Amino acid sequence: MFEIVGIYTKPLKKRSPEKIFELLRFLEKRRVKYFIDEQTSRSIKSKKNLVKGEEIPSLVELIIVLGGDGTMLSVARKVGNRDTPVIGINFGYLGFLTQIKLERMTEELKRVFDGNFRYENRMRLEAEVLKSDGEIKRFTALNDVVINKGTLARIIDFETYVDGGFLSYFRADGLIISTPTGSTAYNLSSGGPIIVPEHKSFILTPICPHTLTNRPVVLSPNSSIEVFLKNGENVMLTVDGQVGVALSSGDKIRVKKSPYPLILVVPNDLNFFDVLREKLKWGER
């Protein structure tokens, strides 16, 4: 099914070499060509088929990620606007994005390479930061963009607009703008709703708002969101919890749906609600 694949690995995992070699044996047995990134090369102490991580998505038909959701988020940034599909083997804890269990890696990959899988298009968002001095910074996120304060910062004041219309004035510790994929991340821990990942929408969730009437809002994926930072010290915009930029009073953040979804490869028998029950103990008493 897939003849050329790329491999990314989470750093500093004790079982990484063992599982990487198991994966490579599987691929070689099926005569699948592969490339490995720098971290994978260090893990197995081999430079065979080593390629810079940024180059892999343009060279392969499938990307295999051995890691947790954080590793998947970093790989998603490398994929960028390409349509290279990605599959995740869970080396981490929760594994909402890297859904295949480590102990079932070869079994599930065999089914995938035999064509027993489905594609899931995961919506991403684009964020544009217009600094008060005229500088513009752009980001793409799979999970969320978050406006939040530092440890010693005061409460943040900001205005939010949707499609040019005023939504609300917030006084809060911050604001999460999430995709459905990110709904089980920071959004969930801040009281936001869980949205099934195939759904297309934005979720606006204030962090510790100082007004009880401020509650999470689910918006159309076609919405254009603008946030004006009115007052705040030591404020950051973070993207998928991994990269970001410092904000100042007068800065403006624009968010819209990205035209480039991340394409996940998922075995047909894996179900999002099974993951919820297993990882979050959903519905247990």
Residue 20, in any domain of the structure: yes
92 and 20 inside one domain:
yes
Instruction: Report long-range pairs for 43-48 (Cβ below 8 Å, ≥24 apart).
Output: 43/9, 43/11, 43/13, 43/16, 43/17, 44/16, 44/17, 44/20, 45/17
**Per-residue pLDDT for the chain (285 aa), expressed as one digit of tens each?**
799 999 999 876 666 788 899 999 999 999 999 999 999 999 999 999 999 999 999 999 999 999 989 999 999 999 999 999 999 998 866 678 888 888 889 999 999 999 999 999 999 999 999 998 888 999 999 999 999 987 666 789 999 999 999 999 999 999 999 999 999 999 999 999 999 998 999 999 999 998 878 889 999 999 999 999 998 778 999 999 999 999 999 999 999 999 999 999 998 888 888 777 877 777 676
Query: What's the CA gap between 199 and 211, in Å, rounded?
Result: 29
94 and 189 inside one domain:
no
Residue 63, in any domain of the structure: yes
274 and 243 inside one domain:
no
Are residues 158 and 232 in contact, defined by beta-carbon separation less than 8 angstroms? yes
Residue-level pLDDT at 64? 97
Residue 136, in any domain of the structure: yes
18 and 109 inside one domain:
yes
Residue 92, in any domain of the structure: yes
Residues involved in catalysis: 69
Alpha-carbon torsion, ordered 191, 95, 198, 122, to 10 deg: 110
CATH number at residue 153: 2.60.200.30
Partners of 280 in the β-ladder: none
Question: Which whole-number Å values give the CA distances from 78 to 86, 89, 141, 142, in the listed order?
Answer: 11, 18, 11, 12
Looking at the structure of the chain, the number of domains it has is 2
Residue 285, in any domain of the structure: no
Instruction: State the residue range of the domain holding 223.
Output: 125-257
Query: What's the CA gap between 153 and 173, in Å, rounded?
Result: 9
Residue 170, in any domain of the structure: yes
171 and 249 inside one domain:
yes
Sign of torsion over alpha carbons 45, 50, 51, 54: negative
139 and 250 inside one domain:
yes
233 and 160 inside one domain:
yes
265 and 250 inside one domain:
no
Partners of 281 in the β-ladder: none
CATH number at residue 68: 3.40.50.10330
Q: What is the pTM of this model?
A: 0.92
SS3 54: coil
Determine how β-strand 136-141 pairs with β-strand 174-178.
unpaired
15 and 112 inside one domain:
yes
65 and 139 inside one domain:
no
Residue 91, in any domain of the structure: yes
185 and 65 inside one domain:
no
Residue-level pLDDT at 22? 94
Cβ neighbours of residue 8 under 8 Å, at least 6 residues apart? 37, 39, 40, 53, 56, 63, 64, 65, 66, 67, 71, 75, 78
230 and 109 inside one domain:
no
CA angle 106, 1, 90 (to 5 degrees): 35
Query: What's the CA gap between 269 and 155, in Å, rounded?
Result: 46
**Other CB atoms within 10 Å distance of the CB of residue 70:** 17
